[in-house]
Amino acid sequence: MDIDAYLKRQSTLFIIAVALIVNLCIGYIDYLTGYHFHMSAFYLIPVFLAVWYANVFAGIGISTMSAVIMVFVYFTSVKHHRHMLVQLWNIALLFVIYNIFAFVLSNLKLALAERREALSKVRTLTDLVPMCVFCKKVLDNSDCHFDSEDEEKLVVELRESLSKVKTLTALIPSCASCKRVQNDFSGPLSQ
């Protein structure tokens, strides 16, 4: 099952609920591991879910919730090795970083959507505009135009060779499907 496609079909409220549950789970793990293990990077996961599948405002809300959870984890910890203001400063910085992450991810999502739209327009245009297969130039009502005399000579030689092959195939009896040549007009075909 494709998780990306599944999450894209869900409502904004559902995505926010999932991001909130993931955020609370990370907060609980953060609480269990204590101050020795930093879980700060894992709080970006629910922010990503909220921004990518809902909107930037949901991501800001989830990043705010992450900061609140980190403050709660700090005050409910058994031991405090840092001064309270230092820890609150660190949490405030993480809150700013999470919000910057949310805005950058939102802009990335918009740029990706614009690129996909532009690419679909280009594909539509290339289907509508007649182009030469060889030189990739846009064709007008005439045939393909070659830049050099060598290419024109090559085309003339290829046309002459093709006419000779057509003449030979008309003179030599052969089967159209298996391409076997008949030795004489009454005998069997051979390769």
pLDDT at 33: 87
Looking at the fold, whether 48 and 12 belong to one and the same domain comes out as yes
pLDDT at 26: 94
Is 86 inside any structural domain? yes
Closest CA to 58 of 17, 4, 7, 10: 17
Looking at the fold, whether 61 and 120 belong to one and the same domain comes out as yes
Q: Consecutive 10-residue runs of the chain (191 residues): their mean pLDDT? A: 87 94 94 82 94 93 92 76 77 91 93 88 65 63 57 76 67 62 56 53
pLDDT at 184: 57
d(CA 99, CA 47): 9
Residue that the structure tokens 């009454």 belong to: 186
State which residues form the domain around 182: 144-191
Q: Fill in the DSSP letter of residue 146.
A: P
pLDDT at 79: 63
pTM: 0.61
